[in-house]
Amino acid sequence: MSTDVKKSDAQVAKADLVTATIDGIEVHVPKGTLVIRAAERLGIEIPRFCDHELLDPVAACRQCIVEVPDAGNGRPMKPQPACALGVMPGMVVETAATNEKVAKHQRGMLEFLLINHPLDCPICDKGGECPLQNQALSHGDGESRYEGVKRTFPKPVNISAQILIDRERCVLCQRCTRFGEQISGDDFISLSERGALSQISIYASRPYESYFSGNITQICPVGALTSVDYRFQARPFDLVSTTTTCEHCASGCELRTDHRHFQVKRRLAGDDPEVNEQWNCDKGRYGFCYGRQSDRLTHPLVRRDGKLVPASWPEAIDAAVVGLKAAGSEVGVLTGGRLTLENAFAYSKFARTVLGTNSIDFRARPYGADEAGFLASEVTAKPMDVTFTDLEQAGTVVLVGFEPEDESPAVFLRLRKGNLKNRTKVLAVAPFLSNGSKKMGATLVPTAPGDEVKALEEIASELEAGTILLVGERASLVPGLLSKVRQYAAKGVRWAWIPRRAGELAALEAGCLPQLLPGGRPVNDARARVDLQAAWGVAQLPDSAGLDAEGMLTAATSGSLKALVTAAVELSDLADPEAAKAALASDSVFVVSLEQRLSELAESADVVFPVALLEEQIGTFINWEHRARPVEIVNARAQSVMTDVRVLAALADALGTDLGMRTPPQARTAYLEISDWEGSTPKFTTAGAFGAAAGGDGVRLASWHLAVDDSRCLDGAETLRQSAPAPVARISAATATALGVHDGQQIAISTDAGQVVLPAAVTASMVDDVVWAPTNSGAELFRTLHAGPGDLVRLTVVKTAGGAA
Amino acid sequence: MSVDVLTPTLSDNWDQPDAWKIANYVARGGYEAARKAVGMDPDAIIGLVKDSGLRGRGGAGFPTGVKWSFIPQANPNPKYLVINCDESEPGTCKDVPMLMATPHTLVEGVIISSFAVRAHHAFIYVRGEVLHVIRRLQKAVADAYEAGYLGKGIFGTDYDLDVVVHAGAGAYICGEETALLDSLEGRRGQPRLRPPFPAVAGLYASPTVVNNAESIASVPAIVAKGAAWYKTMGTEKSAGSTLYSVSGHVKRPGQYEAPLGTTYRTLLDLAGGIRAGHQLKFFTPGGSSTPILTPDQLDVKLDYEGVAAAGSILGTKALQTFDETVSVVRTTLRWTEFYKHESCGKCTPCREGSWWLVQTLRNIEQGKGQEGDVEKMLDLCDNVSMKSFCTLADGFVANITSSIKYFREEFEAGYHTPAWELFPYEKSVYFPYERERITVSEGAGE
């Protein structure tokens, strides 16, 4: 039964329902409901291939033909496809259940579909979960009368690095091409040739590069489209499926993860109509191999004589205890942005009750001075407000510091749907009209990074009650922008903060900020501390303001911070990776690192504890809507390493304090016990001044992470990486002319720290005197330039060996 | 029977020297109807065309004026007129000679029709293979622009009209009106789901009238001489004069313009009868997608109702004539091969049905058919009929089933005897003939 019918039921008044009869049973549905959906409501199964509830009807496969003895006007119709026929009042429909003619049509159609379909089910990836196979059994004849010659094609053929097509198996339902047109907007596949030789093809000049291409393998009703990585890896009936949540961004898409022999074989988009509908991005689909790389940690490591060497758990815990005890309360905790609520809560409590510090921060990325205050005051412990469905139905959506297709792909899909179906107006406050923005039908509000406040003021007439403002994590880098967001919020503009990482909202709820305790309690509110002390059974919680992430690194450099506990922090994500590396490598800082894989940070740690992968534990993400997203154990091996919660509990025991939780479920219970706080909330005070960014020589840098880039979480997804967008440096035509470069020519983006060389992409919509480059595609921008979005950089032409400028 | 039965209207000037030149067309009163029309109330023109009883000449026979009145004038989008001149049906050959002889008749019809439906852009979609026709039409349009009949403020009024001649790329399916629109928009030509109908959301999702070239070319005469005059020709429900294209085994094949309702017996007389020494075996009333008829139906009135009552379709009035030397199995196979090649591939029954039926028919032609093949073909035809996306498949199915209906024994003979032994192919041609090698190979390389 389809959910969209259920939902529209609630919205449609009874008077708008029409009554029709299908197989003699009356059904009441909203006018215009397709017969195939109305039949589903009655539990009447009509076979189909091209029909998909989230795609517009195409009526191509003709498998769902029904008879209509009465169209509602007393007159019969010729046989109709149920997938494209709207229910009319008084309509009478007969399916194969009651009409032998229909049953014959359906058998005949399946016979036609099978005459050119190879009998290779035993070696086909789809065999066992194939709609063609299933419906041939349920609605077809056992024997074919066809004795002729089958159509053959060379097979398989790559249509992209990660997708193969077996054209012989294709039933030409056009689900994949319609997905490209109607859902992702990447219509780089199309039918070519005609008749029985019709085939899904790619263009000679336009590669099929899409962040959403994996969806076409999932909606293909036969085994024509398959994933390179999954091909011949498993039989569907040998797989164990688990419904869980994706860890790659803050949208929290539902996933169906399939494993066999303790190894995840594939991930599919789950079906959550409120969140990701039935889609996900390729990062979520293919990015699951990072935990099986050679750098996966399975044993603790301890630094001896300057080198990390394997150690037993008691040995490593002892070493950590010695170091942490020596540091006293001059210790900090960096949790990264990727933890589940349960793990984040364990770190938060560990910092406060075991280490006795408020120096805790989840932000492993550049951020502005007023961000922590803003997040603590405006984002934490708020009820769900703006939802995916709201995005689809909003009149106007304004994006600032946020590039949905790269930074939260499910948001992109929903905005595009809103734009196509409901004419949602999308305004992108950005330096150029990105490809994603184009596909959402967005209008560019041309803005150099740093000038966003002014840009929002210029479109103030759009920012009225009813408008939705989506604020990305880069927004805090613009002085005064978050204050501006609060001003518009006060005017009735609805808004949401959408960070990139899956764990950031959960970290906020768990209190992973210096001024924030769990549940939105302010550290500087004695009542809040007392409340928590009582709940936790501790005599005293630290009341002095802790250090934030950058503060901790500075203090580590200066020697005033003696120890750091870190969880899954990538140095290259930080604003100045080299400085952070130097700070952590200093002998005066004792670093305890809890990691899934040996990272650059772990290499300079003093003790490294391995922790469980997400697929090995239970937990909760909180997505940008503030919706709890369950993480389930997919694949627990007997020898699985411990979760962050368990390791922290062991450390706490050794340090002489009970953490009060040893497993993620216990952490969740403990969190739920204290999450309800009705006292005061943190106050926001603006730290930055309004106004434009600093002037000076050079051009301003714009940058964000592409969804598919050099991120370590895509390690092992090599075919996906092959279809990643090629890195370029985008500049306007005027900037290019001033520089004397043409499209495609190599240019250098430089600061005193270093330079990155990329081919210039002269971009029509680009703001002058700005250069955009991807943050981590081919080169690590922050590390090389020591500069981030809004900073000034220099552009120079790279002289080639041939002498051409 | 004399030539009195002919009613040259569309073909009135075909015998004039250089009839296609604008000066010669104007000299005989050309463009006067258009000049008159742009001074009329558009609704009055629609009313006039309705009153004339003009029906679509592309095959379906929908009343032209009624179709125009469906255009929602309140819709803020532009309105478009699209002329379907993608004449590709085997046997159908009326628009091509008409446009060679008198392209300005169509251009004048386009002006009047566009004005009536308040379109400022008209597109003439011409079959791409007939380059000579495209050139002649392009020249006619250019001359009309030069004369001030097209472009800004035509005939000194404030009415603007632009006409684009668009060449198809060689697909039969683009004669289906919605596939034509997709093709015109630069997409792959495949029929669209209806509703919405083109009148509501056609070209570029705007209200669009799609008419056959002959229908539109008939309009100037109606405006010039009136609806009553037009109705003096034809039958009650099928008014007017039309082009009958007689081809095949007749003495004088060609275009015969006569009132709707003229019988095939009359047309055969005009064409000089069947070639000497032979008799009529069967014929198509309106191209290869209409069920065949036999000598028993010589006196069927060739209008929309008459042909339908005889179990076929008037179609494009393309009378393909076959004498007793012809193997029905062979014609059916050739036609089905055509439809298999032209099936767009969108829907299953057409795509796979034509693929399968061709193979069965080939076996029968070669005398390699198997007992039961005829019944199997009829069953397959039943599985295709009325279930395909558009009417392309209904066309080839009708052809096969009607051929079996009248000549079943010829198909059954294919269980043991090749068709060329029963009906030596060289006997049915006018030129030396060598039977082609028949190979059965299917695949991507075909």
Q: Same structural domain for residues B274 and B413?
A: no
Asked whether the beta carbons of residue A196 and residue B443 sit closer than 8 angstroms, the reply is no
Q: Same structural domain for residues A39 and A103?
A: yes
Q: Same structural domain for residues A344 and A396?
A: no
Please indicate, yes or no, if residue B436 is contained in any of the structural domains.
Answer: no
Maximum C-alpha span of chain A: 92
Q: Are B31 and B13 in contact (CB under 8 A)?
A: no
pLDDT-derived band at A8 (thresholds 50, 70, 90) equals very low
Q: Are B45 and B37 in contact (CB under 8 A)?
A: yes
Mutate one of B364, B387, B438, B446 to test the A interface: name it (highest A CB count within 10 A).
Answer: B387
Partnered with residue A65 across adjacent β-strands are A81
Structurally, how many domains does chain A consist of? 4
A152 contact residues in B (CB cutoff 8 A) = 442-444
Please indicate, yes or no, if residue B437 is contained in any of the structural domains.
Answer: no
Q: Using one digit for the tens of pLDDT, what is the confidence trace for A417-460?
A: 999 999 999 999 999 999 999 999 999 999 999 999 999 999 99
Task: Write down the H helix ranges in B301-342.
Answer: 304-309, 328-342
The single-letter code of the amino acid at B244 is: Y
B354 contact residues in A (CB cutoff 8 A) = 195-196
By three-state DSSP, how is residue A751 classified?
coil
Please indicate, yes or no, if residue A490 is contained in any of the structural domains.
Answer: yes
Please indicate, yes or no, if residue A470 is contained in any of the structural domains.
Answer: yes
Q: Same structural domain for residues A511 and A488?
A: no
C-alpha dist (Å) from residue A667 to A486, A516, A648, A662, B244: 33, 18, 11, 7, 87
B356 touches chain A (CB under 8 A): yes
Minimal Cβ distance to A105: which of B193, B353, B387: B387
Q: Is the pLDDT of residue B435 over 80?
A: no
| pLDDT value, residue A804 | 43
pLDDT-derived band at A211 (thresholds 50, 70, 90) equals very high
Please indicate, yes or no, if residue A219 is contained in any of the structural domains.
Answer: no
Long-range contacts of A732-738 (CB under 8 A, 24+ apart): A732/A432, A732/A762, A732/A763, A732/A764, A732/A766, A732/A767, A732/A768, A732/A769, A732/A770, A733/A762, A733/A764, A733/A766, A734/A768, A735/A699, A735/A766, A735/A768, A735/A769, A735/A770, A735/A771, A735/A795, A736/A760, A736/A762
What is the rounded distance in angstroms from the CA atom of residue A554 to the CA atom of residue B256? 97
Asked whether the beta carbons of residue A194 and residue B382 sit closer than 8 angstroms, the reply is no
| pLDDT value, residue A586 | 87
Please indicate, yes or no, if residue B248 is contained in any of the structural domains.
Answer: yes
Please indicate, yes or no, if residue A522 is contained in any of the structural domains.
Answer: yes
| pLDDT value, residue B385 | 96
Structurally, how many domains does chain B consist of? 3
| pLDDT value, residue A697 | 79
Q: Same structural domain for residues B318 and B334?
A: no
Q: Same structural domain for residues A474 and A607?
A: no
Q: Is the pLDDT of residue A692 over 60?
A: no
Cα nearest neighbour of B363 on chain A: A148
Please indicate, yes or no, if residue B232 is contained in any of the structural domains.
Answer: no
Residue numbers of the domain that contains A470: 381-499
Last residue of a domain, one of A113, A142, A177: A113
C-alpha dist (Å) from residue A361 to A77, A167, A358, A661: 67, 52, 9, 21
Mutate one of A62, A175, A423 to test the B interface: name it (highest B CB count within 10 A).
Answer: A62
Asked whether the beta carbons of residue A149 and residue B359 sit closer than 8 angstroms, the reply is yes
Asked whether the beta carbons of residue B376 and residue A116 sit closer than 8 angstroms, the reply is no
Last residue of a domain, one of A78, A113, A148: A113
Q: Same structural domain for residues A481 and A357?
A: no
Minimal Cβ distance to A116: which of B355, B383, B440: B355
Q: Are B263 and B302 in contact (CB under 8 A)?
A: yes
Q: Same structural domain for residues B292 and B350?
A: no
Q: Same structural domain for residues A349 and A387?
A: no
Query: What CATH number corresponds to the domain at position A80?
Result: 3.10.20.740
Q: Same structural domain for residues B176 and B58?
A: yes
Q: Same structural domain for residues B317 and B344?
A: no
Q: Are A64 and A180 in contact (CB under 8 A)?
A: no
Other beta carbons less than 10 A from residue A652's beta carbon: 21
Q: Which of A46, A84, A86, A63 is nearest to B347 (CA)?
A: A63
Minimal Cβ distance to B359: which of A84, A148, A191: A148
By three-state DSSP, how is residue A68 classified?
strand
Q: Same structural domain for residues B210 and B64?
A: yes
Please indicate, yes or no, if residue B255 is contained in any of the structural domains.
Answer: yes
A145 contact residues in B (CB cutoff 8 A) = 376
Q: How far is A774 from chain B (nearest CA, A)?
A: 34
Please indicate, yes or no, if residue A254 is contained in any of the structural domains.
Answer: no
Q: Same structural domain for residues B199 and B261?
A: no
Q: How far is A79 from chain B (nearest CA, A)?
A: 6
Please indicate, yes or no, if residue B443 is contained in any of the structural domains.
Answer: no
Q: Using one digit for the tens of pLDDT, what is the confidence trace for B155-208?
A: 999 999 999 999 999 999 999 999 999 999 999 999 999 999 999 999 999 999
Q: Same structural domain for residues B185 and B105?
A: yes
| pLDDT value, residue A12 | 52
Query: What CATH number corresponds to the domain at position B334?
Result: 1.20.1440.230
B355 contact residues in A (CB cutoff 8 A) = 115-116, 148, 151, 195-196
B384 contact residues in A (CB cutoff 8 A) = 108
**Residue given tokens 């922790």 in the structure block:** A611
Q: How far is B377 from chain A (nearest CA, A)?
A: 11
Q: Are A606 and A322 in contact (CB under 8 A)?
A: no
Please indicate, yes or no, if residue B361 is contained in any of the structural domains.
Answer: yes
B383 touches chain A (CB under 8 A): yes
Calculate the CA dihedral of residues B353, A63, B388, B378 and round it to 10 degrees. 40
Last residue of a domain, one of B226, B254, B284: B226
Q: Same structural domain for residues B283 and B355?
A: no
Q: How far is A87 from chain B (nearest CA, A)?
A: 14
Q: What is the mean pLDDT of chain A?
A: 94
Asked whether the beta carbons of residue A108 and residue B193 sit closer than 8 angstroms, the reply is no
Question: Looking at residues B229-246, what average pLDDT do you find?
Answer: 96
Q: Same structural domain for residues A621 and A510?
A: yes
A197 touches chain B (CB under 8 A): yes
Last residue of a domain, one of A474, A499, A524: A499
Partnered with residue A513 across adjacent β-strands are A516
Query: What CATH number corresponds to the domain at position A764?
Result: 2.40.40.20
For A:166-185, CB contacts with B below 8 A are 167, 171-172, 174
B352 touches chain A (CB under 8 A): yes
Q: Are B212 and B60 in contact (CB under 8 A)?
A: no
Q: Same structural domain for residues B59 and B187?
A: yes
Asked whether the beta carbons of residue B444 and residue A145 sit closer than 8 angstroms, the reply is no
Please indicate, yes or no, if residue A122 is contained in any of the structural domains.
Answer: no
pLDDT-derived band at B299 (thresholds 50, 70, 90) equals very high
Number of H helices, E strands in chain A: 26, 35
Mutate one of B346, B366, B446 to test the A interface: name it (highest A CB count within 10 A).
Answer: B346
A58 touches chain B (CB under 8 A): yes
Q: Same structural domain for residues A667 and A727?
A: no
Query: What CATH number corresponds to the domain at position A438?
Result: 3.40.228.10
Mutate one of B172, B193, B352, B386 to test the A interface: name it (highest A CB count within 10 A).
Answer: B352
For B:143-182, CB contacts with A below 8 A are 171, 173
Q: Same structural domain for residues A495 and A510?
A: no
Residue numbers of the domain that contains B302: 241-323
Q: Same structural domain for residues A525 and A587?
A: yes
A167 contact residues in B (CB cutoff 8 A) = 444
A494 touches chain B (CB under 8 A): no
Q: Same structural domain for residues B338 and B311?
A: no
Q: How far is A149 from chain B (nearest CA, A)?
A: 6
Q: Is the pLDDT of residue A251 over 50?
A: yes
Calculate the CA dihedral of residues A157, A158, A163, A165 and round it to 10 degrees. -20
pLDDT-derived band at B48 (thresholds 50, 70, 90) equals very high
Last residue of a domain, one of B226, B257, B275: B226
Task: List the single range of A490-504, A581-595, A679-693, B284-298 with lowest mean pLDDT.
Answer: A679-693
Write out the two tokens for B51: 């009153």
pLDDT-derived band at A6 (thresholds 50, 70, 90) equals very low
Cα nearest neighbour of B361 on chain A: A148
Please indicate, yes or no, if residue B124 is contained in any of the structural domains.
Answer: yes
| pLDDT value, residue B432 | 76
B380 contact residues in A (CB cutoff 8 A) = 108
Asked whether the beta carbons of residue A84 and residue B360 sit closer than 8 angstroms, the reply is no
pLDDT-derived band at A803 (thresholds 50, 70, 90) equals very low
pLDDT-derived band at A359 (thresholds 50, 70, 90) equals very high
B347 contact residues in A (CB cutoff 8 A) = 59-62
B347 touches chain A (CB under 8 A): yes
B225 touches chain A (CB under 8 A): no
Q: Using one digit for the tens of pLDDT, what is the confidence trace for B58-110?
A: 988 999 999 999 999 999 999 999 999 999 999 999 999 999 999 999 999 99
A170 contact residues in B (CB cutoff 8 A) = none
B173 contact residues in A (CB cutoff 8 A) = 194
For A:116-175, CB contacts with B below 8 A are 116, 145-146, 148-154, 167, 171-172, 174
Q: How far is B159 from chain A (nearest CA, A)?
A: 34
Asked whether the beta carbons of residue A197 and residue B344 sit closer than 8 angstroms, the reply is no
Counting Cα atoms < 13 Å in the Cβ hemisphere of A298 gives 9
Q: Same structural domain for residues B345 and B395?
A: yes
Q: Same structural domain for residues A331 and A405?
A: no
Q: How far is B341 from chain A (nearest CA, A)?
A: 6
Query: What CATH number corresponds to the domain at position B180?
Result: 3.40.50.11540
Percent of chain B with pLDDT over 90: 94
What is the rounded distance in angstroms from the CA atom of residue A747 to the CA atom of residue A67? 65
Mutate one of A78, A112, A144, A201 to test the B interface: name it (highest B CB count within 10 A).
Answer: A112
What is the rounded distance in angstroms from the CA atom of residue A251 to the CA atom of residue A388? 9
Query: What CATH number corresponds to the domain at position B283?
Result: 3.10.20.600
Q: Are A317 and A302 in contact (CB under 8 A)?
A: no
Cα nearest neighbour of A108 on chain B: B383
Asked whether the beta carbons of residue A190 and residue B386 sit closer than 8 angstroms, the reply is no
Q: Same structural domain for residues A495 and A511?
A: no
Asked whether the beta carbons of residue A191 and residue B356 sit closer than 8 angstroms, the reply is no
Q: Report pTM.
A: 0.94
Asked whether the beta carbons of residue B442 and residue A153 sit closer than 8 angstroms, the reply is no
Q: 3-state secondary structure string, A544-563? A: CCCCCHHHHHHHHHHCCCCE
